[in-house]
Amino acid sequence: MLKKRRRSPLLLCVALGVSSATIAAHDLWIEPTSFTPEAGKVVGVKLRVGQDLMGDPVPRDPSLIDEFIVAGPDGRMPIAGRDLGDPAGLLRIATPGLHVVGYRSKPSPIVMPAAKFNQYLEEEGLDSVIAARAARGQTNADAHEQFARCAKSLILTGPALDNQADRVLGFTLELIAEKNPYSLQPENELPVKILYQNRPLSNALIVAINRSNADVRVTARSDKDGRVGLRLPKPGFWLVKAVHMVPAAPGSGAEWLSYWASLTFNNQMSHAGS
């Protein structure tokens, strides 16, 4: 389903001063310096926070990192980097193939005004939380939340092959491309699966955004097996995203715990093979 969205103004605190409130209110994604590097080249792994694939740097903060890894033909390895550096990580891809970069953060606390929190719930399709707050008489109450990030990016070295696959990293909330997006042709459907705690998540709103025209979005709700088919109308830099929110644990100081999953790739077709 294609959906046109009115673009909101991007109000961000820049560089090291990015606040938890800003980060919580926007998407976080991985943007490598190259999605299709030659073997042996060093790739910078940038973290970005913003809206509509326009974002500001998120420097490497070891206190927030739960996992920062790359998984590919050579196995699974941590991504090194300089503290407070941007890019947040550096990696050298030695072997051709599809490589999955993953960043998982530790939870961060935030308090949000009622109106802003309600808008965010509506935009991210969190209907069950809207209903739960209404049932508790909390619709007009400020919200105490913890949020965590589960970001992935697909990097291709060499030709795109149909048998190359995204990998399940075991993140709490995770989007998995069930077909190599670099082998897609225009108007082909990209099958995507969403997992929560390694189990299929149904009725999650999954949104795909293309940087060249971020106002038009491809959206779908996951079925009982956690699957959607996203018909991407054009090649380019895509962000696929979803948010899942659950009640926070007692004693955590929060009412809600949210997980933000993202998956990025740049399928320009010029690297497609057979």
- What angle (nearest 5°) sits at the alpha carbon of residue 24, between those of residues 19 and 28? 95
Q: Per residue in 120-152, pLDDT tens?
A: 999 999 999 999 999 999 999 999 999 999 999
pLDDT-based confidence at 25, cuts 50/70/90? low
Note whether 246 and 257 are within 8 A (CB). Answer: yes
Q: What is the spatial distance between Cα 164 and Cα 155, in angstroms, rounded to a whole number? A: 11
DSSP label of 80: B
The domain segmentation of the chain, as residue ranges, is 2-267
Question: What is the predicted pLDDT for the residue at 162?
Answer: 87
Q: What is the spatial distance between Cα 217 and Cα 210, in angstroms, rounded to a whole number? A: 8
Beta bridge partners of 209: 217, 239
2-11, 74-83, 139-148, 219-228, range with the lowest pLDDT: 2-11
Note whether 48 and 86 are within 8 A (CB). Answer: no
Beta bridge partners of 72: 75
Question: What is the predicted pLDDT for the residue at 24?
Answer: 53
Could you list the beta-strand ranges (E) of the chain: 2-4, 27-32, 42-51, 54-57, 65-72, 75-78, 89-92, 97-105, 108-112, 143-157, 173-177, 189-196, 199-200, 205-210, 216-221, 227-231, 236-247, 256-267
Note whether 85 and 44 are within 8 A (CB). Answer: no
Question: What is the predicted pLDDT for the residue at 187?
Answer: 73
User: What tokens does 137 get?
Assistant: 């008489």
* Residue 67 predicted with pLDDT over 70: yes
Residue in the block written with tokens 């910078």? 44
* Residue 170 predicted with pLDDT over 90: yes
Share in percent of the chain as helix, strand, coil (round to 5): 10, 45, 40
pLDDT-based confidence at 1, cuts 50/70/90? confident
95-99, 119-123, 186-190, range with the lowest pLDDT: 186-190
* Residue 192 predicted with pLDDT over 80: yes
| Mean pLDDT across 233-248 | 96
